[in-house]
Structure 1
Amino acid sequence: MEKLKKGLVFGKFMPVHKGHLALIAFAKSRCEHLIVSMSFMPNDPINHTLRFAWLQKIFEGDNAITLVEKIDDFHDESLPLFEATKLWADFIRREFPDIEGFFCSEDYGEPLAFHLGLPCIWFDKAREQVPVSATKIRQNPFQYWDFIPLVVQPYFVKKICLFGPESVGKTVLSQKLAEYYKTVFVPEAAREILTSNDIDVGIITKIGERQTELVKEKMAIANKLLFCDTDLITTQIYAQHYLDFVPAVLKSLEQEVVYDLYFLLDIDVPWVNDPLRDLGHRRAEMYQVFKAELDARQISYVSINGNWEERMEKMIAEINRLTILKDE
């Protein structure tokens, strides 16, 4: 068929997935120029600014595609599809008056084409080429992980924090869990910064900033799960212990990363001495401090105790419940 001078693809892209990308590639091959319009509402499950940023990243430098973002003030869910698409047609005429056709794989294509008086060019309506939908991804992202573009995957990564006082196995267990689930873990930033426990505001702030950076860096390469052997609550606990106050920046940084699951590790394992560990004589007290911080924030957690094998078994069971994963 002869190429359209200008075509349109529109949707919510919540999230954008490989089915969308296949549709856009198909449309682009049949247009001299393609408009990709993302509609949104303020209460969408995935923030529209983030969704549009994903599209911008994916199509960065592609001069044949124009990305636009439009608030959805035209759809009326109370109307049957034929009547609703009349409103859509009015919106498209107003916003994109010079398009010559649109591309889609949804049932609305036929009535919308009728109201617009423009062709609907179909792509994979049966969803055979790319059997996925945004709804399915939101409901179970891990089942459809391979259909999620790399730039989008970090949004769906489940972040799991191993939490507790010194020498309860946070680092070793984070590494083992990462190996088990074929993903990565976030090390403790303090270990790469500290040479002693002579801590000041500058050092504790640097630790908090670096810990936050590390989580974000690792999210970009994580395979569905990300294991973290500390968090910013922990940094604040040690700030209070060594400085007798918590710098405001640490509280701000805490808000930048939200964890999907907390494991509170008990102290019923042998103490292992380490040059940076100086609270072995106060283990029970510090355990209660860690527990109290979670309780004060109303953060749910799973208590983990027992030997190393028992700890791994308990955590794997909880992670599988969280993620609908099964042991292989």
Structure 2
Amino acid sequence: MARRFRSGLVVGKFAPLHLGHEWLIEEAHQQCERLYVLSWSLPELPGCEAERRERWLAARLPHIQCWVLTPQRVAQWRREGLALPELPDNQDAPELQRQFVADFCLQVLGEKVEAVFTSEAYGDGFAAHLGRCFDQPVQHVELDRARQRVPISGSRLRADVHGLREYLAAEVYGDFVERIALLGGESTGKSSLSLALAKALGTLHVAEFGREHWLARSGQLTYGDLLHIGRTQVAREQSLAGRARRYLVCDTTPLTTLFYCREQFGRAEAELEQLAERPYRHLFLCADDFPFVQDGTRQDAAFRHRQNVWYAQQLQRRGLPYRLLTGSLSARVAQVLAYLQITSA
């Protein structure tokens, strides 16, 4: 099918990238042989930093050439001799922002685009400015300015990302879900707590893959199994986060896997060490303050206590704040819920 334009451009903050953005970009792509998507925000908007936007665009629009710009990246191009101005601030005059886009097209893309696609009133002026810089007409293609296709905006989403989650793809919404991580030695009620918390919060929990894998291997794990466990635990978090509701309860973290790897083999792969540094929004350590229960797969109360001491030391060494949960299952659920209410206030 013949395309209407040889090349076209979509520019936006995409903070966050929502389904309305995706619709506009896909519609533009249908009309262009080559479509370029350009994104920047200065300053960055909370939760929508450049690294995230780059990841969202790559995940949702892998067939389209997308550029996420930062002052550092622009500075590097300038050092390499490209005639680019500094990245404009969000509050800079429209002419400065339009001129930057024109220079970017000429210097980085090496192409004078024929069309710009927007759903905004500024599109005509934007296209006219590019046309003057390129010494050729640039057409503004306006798509659904009334937002009838996808009735949402970035500012509304930033104000209520959880209440308006239906306008975000799972890959995007998952980055706004707060991970609740539970740590604790054997027989500290961690798995029971993760199920109870997920039910109380109306969300999902990530089961402990290490235990499942240990049972599947009849307790005979190799050194390589531990890195596989750490990777899989993180992959489970990533796959479930987009389907969770505000919170995702994580029954353990790769820090647990690191403990067992060092305990059994006296060493650990650098990748597993790095996975153990994975940040979580809320960290809780389950106290070993009730009788040890032997289910046939655990060691003993002394080992459990040593585990908990190690977790506490490691969290402190890494500068990661955590809360110690004590008492019965219901008491621990209440402690977590009270903490979340305070931190969300």
| TM-score interval, smaller chain | 0.7 to 0.9
Q: For 1:227 and 1:34, how far apart are their aligned partners in 2?
A: 42
Of 183, 196, 209, which residue of structure 2 is paired with 1:163?
Answer: 183
Q: For 1:105 and 1:291, how far apart are their aligned partners in 2?
A: 52
Per mean C-alpha deviation after superposition, the further-off stretch among 169-178 and 272-281 is 272-281
Q: For 1:199 and 1:143, how far apart are their aligned partners in 2?
A: 44
Q: How many residues align?
A: 314
How many angstroms does 1:293 deviate by?
Answer: 1.7
How many angstroms does 1:299 deviate by?
Answer: 0.7
SS in 1 for 2:259: helix
In structure 2, do the counterparts of structure 1 residues 292 and 70 end up closer, same or farther at CA, with 3 Å as the change threshold?
A: closer
In structure 2, do the counterparts of structure 1 residues 198 and 24 end up closer, same or farther at CA, with 3 Å as the change threshold?
A: closer
| Cross-structure match for 1:27 | 28
Check the 8 A contact 2:292/2:300 in 1, yes or no: no
TM norm structure 1: 0.77
Check the 8 A contact 2:206/2:240 in 1, yes or no: no
| Cross-structure match for 2:134 | none
Of 65, 83, 94, which residue of structure 2 is paired with 1:81?
Answer: 94
Q: For 1:197 and 1:102, how far apart are their aligned partners in 2?
A: 57
Q: For 2:111 and 2:304, how far apart are their aligned partners in 1?
A: 70
Give CA deviations for 1:185-242 in whole Å, capped at 9, x if unaligned. 2222332233599988x63541342233133134213314322222222233334445
| Cross-structure match for 1:130 | 150
| Cross-structure match for 1:292 | 313
Q: Note the 1:57-136 alignment, pairs <5 A.
A: 57-60=59-62, 66-69=64-67, 71=69, 73=74, 74=85, 75-77=87-89, 79-92=92-105, 95=109, 97-106=111-120, 108-117=122-131, 118-125=138-145, 127=147, 129-134=149-154
Query: Counterpart of 1:86 in structure 2: which amino acid?
Result: Q
Q: For 1:20 and 1:96, how far apart are their aligned partners in 2?
A: 25
| Cross-structure match for 1:234 | 256
In structure 2, do the counterparts of structure 1 residues 196 and 111 end up closer, same or farther at CA, with 3 Å as the change threshold?
A: closer
Give CA deviations for 1:11-59 in whole Å, capped at 9, x if unaligned. 3434421120122244346x25451323358996756566445434434
TM norm structure 2: 0.74
Q: For 2:210 and 2:111, how far apart are their aligned partners in 1?
A: 58
Query: Counterpart of 1:186 in structure 2: which amino acid?
Result: V
Could you tell me which runs of 5 or more consecutive residues in structure 1 were left unpaired when the two chains were aligned. Answer: none
Please give the root-mean-square deviation of Cα atoms over the aligned residues, in Å.
3.6
Could you tell me which runs of 5 or more consecutive residues in structure 2 were left unpaired when the two chains were aligned. Answer: 75-84, 132-137
Q: For 1:180 and 1:238, how far apart are their aligned partners in 2?
A: 30
Are 1:314 and 2:335 counterparts?
yes
| Cross-structure match for 1:251 | 273
SS in 2 for 1:270: coil
Q: For 1:241 and 1:83, how far apart are their aligned partners in 2?
A: 59
SS in 1 for 2:299: coil
Q: For 2:97 and 2:52, how far apart are their aligned partners in 1?
A: 27
Q: For 1:285 and 1:158, how far apart are their aligned partners in 2?
A: 29
Q: For 1:98 and 1:287, how far apart are their aligned partners in 2?
A: 62
Check the 8 A contact 2:258/2:276 in 1, yes or no: no
Are 1:268 and 2:289 counterparts?
yes
Q: For 2:230 and 2:5, how far apart are their aligned partners in 1?
A: 50
Q: For 2:229 and 2:66, how far apart are their aligned partners in 1?
A: 35
Give CA deviations for 1:145-172 in whole Å, capped at 9, x if unaligned. 2221133333333222111122121101
Matched-pair identity in %: 26
Q: For 1:292 and 1:238, how far apart are their aligned partners in 2?
A: 15
In structure 2, do the counterparts of structure 1 residues 179 and 79 end up closer, same or farther at CA, with 3 Å as the change threshold?
A: closer
Query: Counterpart of 2:38 in structure 1: which amino acid?
Result: M
Query: Counterpart of 1:89 in structure 2: which amino acid?
Result: A
